[in-house]
Amino acid sequence: MEESPRPDPDDLLRKIQQEEAEHPRGHLKVFFGASAGVGKTYAMLQHAHQKSKDGVHVTVGIVETHGREETASLLEGFEQIPLVPVSYRGRSFEELNLDGILERKPQLVLVDELAHTNVPGARHKKRWQDVEEILNAGIDVYTTLNVQHLDSLNDIVGQITGIHVRETVPDRFFEKAEEVALIDLPPDELIRRLDEGKIYIPKQAEKATQSFFRRGNLIALRELALRRTADSVDSKMREYRTGRGIKQLWQTKERILVCVGPHPESERLVRAASRIASALHADWIAVYVETPDLAQLSLESRSRIFTTLKIAEDLGAHTSTVSGTDVPQTLIAFAREHNVTAMVLGKARKKGIWNWGRKDLTNEISQLDPSLLLHVIGEAQTSKPRQSISRRASKFLWKPYGIASLILAFVTIGCTLLYPYLDLANIIMAYLVAVVFIAFRHGRNPGLFTSILGVLCFDIFFVPPRFSLGVQDSRHLMTFAIMLGVAVLVGTLTSKLKFQATVAARREHRADILYQVGRELANSLTVEKAVEVAVHHISGIFSARTRVLLPDAQDKLQIPQNGVEGEGWKIDEGLAQWCFENRKPAGMGTDTVSQSSVRYVPLPGTMKIRGVVAVEFASADFVRLPEQVRLLETIATQVGQTLERIHYIEVAQDSIVRMETERLRNTLLASVSHDIRTPLAALVGQTGNLLTLQDSIPREMRHIVQNIHQDAERLGNIVRNILDMASLQSGQVQIKKAWQPIDEVIGVSVAEILRLYPGLPLDVDIPESIPLVEIDSVLFDRVFSNLLGNAVKYAGLQAPILLSVRALPDEIRIYVEDEGPGIPEIKQNAVFEKFKRGDEEHSLPGVGLGLSICRAIVEAHSGKIWVENRSPKGARFVVSIPNRKPPENIQAAWEAHDTELS
C-alpha cells in the first residue's frame, strides 16, 4: 500500500487558516464505513437531528433511504431541497440540486453517498465535486462514504473482494474533511443484518454481493476503514502528536522487515529501514537469518551482525534471529508470520566470478511473494566487500599441500617406471585420480594446487618433448584445462558437503545437548537436583562458571555469600535482580551493563520467572555466537519449566500435608470438645431436671443444686472459649462475612445471656438508622456473648447492663456498659491479652480467654476493641467496626424497607 506523502501538520494548519481567512469554507463531516449496511446514513441523520436541536438550519440535499422506514422516519422534520431531474438517453434521473442548495444557503446540508457518479448532463461528473462547491460556498456538509470508494484503497479492496468499484473519491478530498466519523459494525452483525434483509442491494448487483459480503471480506474492509480513519487528517490529533512527541498513537498499519547480514552495508540498510519506518509510522523488525553458509563466517563478521542488530534495536526495531537453510524462504515465512508489509533489502553486489550462479535475493523474494513491497537500497561507493577478505584470511594449512606433493611424486615416479607400457591417456588418468583424491579429502585449494602441479609434472615428465615445459600437441592444453576444471569442481563440491556435514553435526550436537539436558531435568524431582543439572550442563557446554540464583518468598534473589568457586567470580546482586524482574538477559553482551563479565539469563516458567542463571564465560566470544546464546536461552527455559514443575509438585504436596494436618486437628478438637461436653451436658441436664422437681427437695438443697447447675454452665462456657481460641489460633477459622442488620446477631447473644440469667436487668438500644454491617455473625455472637457474660460476672446479676449501637461516619460502635468495679486504667490493654484478667486473684472462675477471643475476632474484621471506665463506676467495652457501604443491590433491598415503613 503506497502512501501519499503526508502534509506537514504546521503547513496544513497554516493553509487551512489561510483559506479560512480568505473565504470561510464549510465544514465537511464524513460518515465513513467499511461497507454498505453499517448504518452510515442513519448515523448521519441522527447527528443532523442533534445539530438541528442545537438550532442549526439543516436541509437534506439527497438522502437515499432505500425504502427503509427507520431511516425515512428520521428524515421527517428536515427541509428537503427537491432533486433536479436530468434526462439521459431518454431516461430521467434525479440528481442533487446543487444550485437549489447554493441558493437556499442552509447552515448544514446532508448529501448521501459521496462517491456517486452523476448522470452526464449534471454540472459535475462526480458528486464529491458538487460537495466541494457547496463547501466553498461556506455551507457545512454531512456525507457518507464507504472505504472501497476511496481512491487509494480502491484497488486493495478490489483485490480483497474481487469487485472493482469505478466510483471513487480522491484521497485529498477525503483528507480535507474536518471530521471523519467511523460508523463501525462488527462483521457478524452486518451479516445478520444482511440476512434479515436490512441492507439495500441493487438488483443487478445481487450476485456480486453474495461474494462481497463474506465474513473474511468484511473483516478486511473493516480493518481498512479503521486504519484509514485513524489516518485521516485530523489536525488536532497531529498537533497533539507533534507537540508531545508521541511516536505512536494508534496501531501502525505497516510493518517493515530489514534483513541483516554480515555485509558491512547492513548497517546502512538498517538505518535506511529506520528512516522508512519512521516516515510511514511503521513498526519494523530487523532479522538475521542464520544459515549454514553464514555459520562459517569469521568471528569478526558474526560480531558485526550482532552490532548491526543492536544498532537496529537502538533505532527502535524489534530484532530477531531465525535459522534456516534458504534465506529467501525463511525471510518470507518470517514476514508472513509477522504480517510484514514491506521489506528493505540491499542491492546485490556486482556479480563477480565467485558469485556466478548465485541467486539474487531481491529477485527471489519478489518471485516468492509479489505482494510484498520491496525497498532496495543501493550500495555505497566507498564500501569494500570485506567478506571475501575475511574468507581468505582463514588459516592456511600446509599439510594438505605436503600430502598432495607426496602423492604427485609417487604418481610421477610410478608412471615414469611404467612409462614404456603406458599410454599418455593412462598417465593423465593417474594424475586425475590424485587430483580427485586431494580435492575430495582437502577441499578446493589443495585440489587446485594438485591439479596445477599435476599438470606441470605431466607436461614436464611425460608430454613430448619430455623434460620440458613445451607442448607439441595443442590438444594437451585441453587436457590441462579439464584437469583444472575437475579439481575445482570436486574441490568445491567436497568443501561444501564437508561444511554442511560439519554444520549438521554441530546442530545435531546442540540437539543432543538439549535432549540430554531435557531428560535429566525431567528426572529431577527436587530443586537442588534441577539446579545441579543446570549448572553441570551449562558449565560443560560453555566452559563457563555457572550459578543458579533462586528467588525467596519475597521474590528477592538469594545470592550465596561465599562463592564456592569463588576467585574473582562475583555476582552483581542488583543486575541479577534486574534480570529477574525485567525477564530479560542482562550483563555481558546485552544492553544492560554489558561490560559485566557475567551474563544473567532469566529462567522463565509459564507463570513467572523461576530464577536467574549467572554464567561467566571463559571468553567473551561465546556471547557473540547467536547459536550459543540461543542454546543457553533454550536451556534456561528448560530449567525454568522444570523449576516451575517442581514448585507445583511441592505446592501440591504442601497442601496435601496441610489438609491432612487440618483434618487431624479438626478431629482432635471435635473429639476433645465432644468428650468434655458430653459429661457436662449430663451434669447441666440432670441438675436442671432436679431443679424442676420443686417440691420434692428441701430448699437449702435446691440452692446447692442451683449453684452446681450454674457452675456447670460456666464451665461449659469456659470450655467453649478454650476450644474457640484453639481453633482461632490454628488459623483454621474461616471468616464468613456477610452483610446483615446488626440486630440479628445481638438478638442471639442477648437471648442466650437471658436464658442463662433470667431476669437480668439488660437493656438493648439499637437505633433504626444503623446501616448494614459486614460481619461473620457466628463469630460476633461470641464477641457479644463474652462481653455480656463478663459484665454479668463482674458487675453482678442485679447491676443494669446496657448494650447500645451507634453509627459514626467511618465506624459503627457497639457499647457494652455495666456498673461493676471497672478496670484499672493500667490494665485496660492487658485484659485483652491471653490468660490475663482484670484482677489476677479474682475469686470468680475464668481463665481470661474471652476478651482475647473478642479481640482476635474484631481485628479479623478490621475493627478495634477497647475498654474504658465510666463515671462514677463501671466499665464500657467498645467494639468498633468499619462503616462501609454495602453493594448496591443489597443496600437497595435494605432501603426498600425504609420507604415502605415511612
Partner 1 sequence: MTQNYPEAKNAWRIAIVEDDSGIRNFIRTAVEQEGWIAESVGSASGAIALMEQNPPDLIVLDLGLPDMDGSTLIRIIRKSLTIPIVVLSARTQEHEKVNALDCGADDYLTKPIGGSELKARLRAHLRRKIGPLQQIQLGTILIDLTTRSVVKSGCVVHLTPIEFKILSVLCSKIGRVVSQRELLNEVWGIEHSECAQYLRIHVGHLRAKIEDKPAMPKYIITELGVGYRLADEC
**SS in 3 state form for 844-864?**
CCCCCCHHHHHHHHHHHCCCE
Strands (E) in 156-215, as ranges, are 179-183
* Number of shown-chain residues binding partner 1 (CB under 8 A): 50
Instruction: Tell me the window of 126-134, 687-695, 698-706, 822-830 that interacts with partner 1 (CB under 8 A).
Output: 687-695
Distance CA 888, CA 492 (A): 82
Reduced to 3 states (helix: H, G, I; strand: E, B; else coil), residue 128 is helix
DSSP string, 454-502: HHHHIIIIISSSTTSS--S-THHHHHHHHHHHHHHHHHHHHHHHHHHHH
**Among residues 264, 385, 716, 846, which is the contact residue for partner 1, using CB under 8 A?**
716
868 contacts 828 by C-beta, under 8 angstroms = yes
Ramachandran quadrant class, 281 (left: phi over 0; alpha: psi -120 to 50; beta: rest): left
Mask 219-258, x = binds partner 1 (CB under 8 A)? ----------------------------------------
Dig out the grid coordinates for 398 from the structure.
600446509
Report whether 228 contacts 175 (CB < 8 A): no
Cβ of residue 778: shortest distance to partner 1, in angstroms? 4
Nine-digit cell string for 227: 486504519
- Burial class from Cβ neighbours inside 10 Å (0-12, 13-18, 19+) for residue 773 reads buried
Q: Which one, 386 or 677, has the nearer CB to partner 1? A: 677
Q: Which of 626, 601, 628 is nearest to 260 (CA)?
A: 626
| Cα(858)–Cα(879) distance, integer angstroms | 7
Q: Which is nearer to partner 1, 74 or 881 (CB)?
A: 881
Q: Which of 406, 693, 844, 847 binds partner 1 (CB under 8 A)?
A: 693
Q: Are strands 58-62 and 79-80 parallel, antiparallel or unpaired?
A: parallel
Find the shortest distance in angstroms from Cβ 876 to partner 1. Answer: 19
Q: How far apart are the first and last CA of the chain?
A: 71
- Name the CA radius of gyration of the chain, rounded: 46
Q: Is 581 exposed, middle or buried (0-12, 13-18, 19+ CB in 10 A)?
A: middle
Region near partner 1 per CB under 8 A, out of 230-238, 503-511, 635-643, 888-896: 888-896
Binding range to partner 1, per CB under 8 A, among 159-167, 301-309, 422-430, 886-894? 886-894
What span, in angstroms and rounded, lies between the C-alpha atoms of 795 and 788? 10
- Rounded to a whole number of angstroms, the minimum distance from the CB of residue 698 to partner 1 is 19
Long-range contacts of 452-456 (CB under 8 A, 24+ apart): 452/484, 453/404, 453/405, 453/408, 454/408, 454/411, 454/483, 455/431, 455/479, 455/480, 455/483, 455/484
**Which residue's CB is nearer to partner 1, number 560 or number 761?**
761
Minimum distance from CB of 169 to partner 1 (Å)?
A: 56
Q: Which is nearer to partner 1, 387 or 686 (CB)?
A: 686
Nearer to partner 1, 496 or 714 (CB): 714
**Pick 660 or 895: Cβ nearer partner 1:** 895
Q: CA-CA distance, 585 to 579, in Å (whole number)?
A: 6
Considering the complex, what minimum distance in angstroms separates the CB of residue 801 from partner 1? 13
Range 556-564, long-range pairs (CB < 8 A, 24+ positions)? 557/611, 557/612
Q: How far apart are CA 322 and CA 260, in angstroms?
A: 11
Dihedral angle over CA of 498, 501, 505, 510, nearest 10: 110
Q: How many helices (H) and strands (E) does the chain have?
A: 29, 24
User: C-beta of 685: minimal distance to partner 1 in Å?
Assistant: 3
Decide whether 692 or 843 has the Cβ nearer to partner 1. 692
Decide whether 440 or 739 has the Cβ nearer to partner 1: 739
Binding residue for partner 1 (CB under 8 A) from 17, 394, 516, 689? Answer: 689
The residue from 95, 132, 713, 817 that contacts partner 1 (CB under 8 A) is 713
| Contact predicate 534/540, CB 8 Å | no
Helix, strand or coil for residue 179?
strand
Phi-psi region of 501 (alpha: psi -120 to 50; beta: other; left: phi over 0): alpha
Number of Cβ atoms within 10 Å of the Cβ of 433:
13
Q: Which of residues 730-759 bind partner 1 (CB under 8 A)?
A: 736, 738-741, 743-748, 750-751, 754-755
Closest among 133, 134, 170 to 152, alpha carbons compared: 170
- Least Å distance between CB 679 and partner 1? 6
What minimum distance in Å lies between the beta carbon of 743 and partner 1? 4
- Minimum CB separation of residue 372 from partner 1 in Å reads 57
Contacting residue, 246, 392, 901, 902, with partner 1 by CB under 8 A: 901
Q: Which is nearer to partner 1, 385 or 747 (CB)?
A: 747
Sites for partner 1 among residues 758-787 (CB under 8 A)? 764, 766, 768, 772, 777-778, 781
SS3 assignment for 706-729 = HHHHHHHHHHHHHHHHHHHHHHHH
- When the beta carbons of 389 and 681 are compared against partner 1, the nearer one is 681
Measured from the CB atom, is 130 or 724 closer to partner 1? 724
Beta-sheet pairing, 91-95 with 84-88:
antiparallel
206 burial type by CB count under 10 A (0-12 exposed, 13-18 middle, 19+ buried): exposed
Q: Is residue 29 within a helix (H) or strand (E), and if so which, with residue range?
A: strand 28-33
Among 614, 712, 783, 853, binds partner 1 (CB under 8 A): 712
> Which residue number, 517 or 745, has a Cβ lying nearer to partner 1?
745
For residue 666, the minimal CB distance to partner 1 (Å) is 9
Closest CB 777 distance from partner 1, rounded Å: 5
| Per-residue contact flags (x/-) with partner 1 for residues 138 to 177, judged by CB under 8 A | ----------------------------------------
Among 352, 574, 688, 882, interactor with partner 1 by CB under 8 A: 688
Q: State which amino acid sits at residue 382.
A: T
Choices 117-125, 378-386, 621-629, 709-717 (CB under 8 A): range interacting with partner 1? 709-717
Q: How far is the CB of 878 from partner 1 (least distance, A)?
A: 18
- Contact letters (x/-) for partner 1, 655-684, by CB under 8 A? ---------------x--xx--xxxxxxxx
Would you say 501 or 754 has its CB closer to partner 1? 754
Shortest distance in whole angstroms from residue 34 CB to partner 1: 42
In the bound state with partner 1, the residue whose beta carbon lies nearer, of 324 and 716, is 716
Is residue 729 involved in binding partner 1 (CB under 8 A)?
no
**Closer residue to partner 1 in complex, CB, 350/674:** 674
**Of 595 and 696, which has the nearer Cβ to partner 1?**
696
- Bridging pattern class, strands 91-95 and 773-775: unpaired
CB of 183 to partner 1, least distance (A): 40
* x/- letters, 48..87, toward partner 1 (CB under 8 A): ----------------------------------------
The rounded distance, in Å, linking the Cα atoms of 232 and 225 is 10
Binding site for partner 1 (CB under 8 A): 670, 673-674, 677-686, 688-689, 691-693, 712-713, 716, 720, 736, 738-741, 743-748, 750-751, 754-755, 764, 766, 768, 772, 777-778, 781, 890, 893-894, 897, 900-901
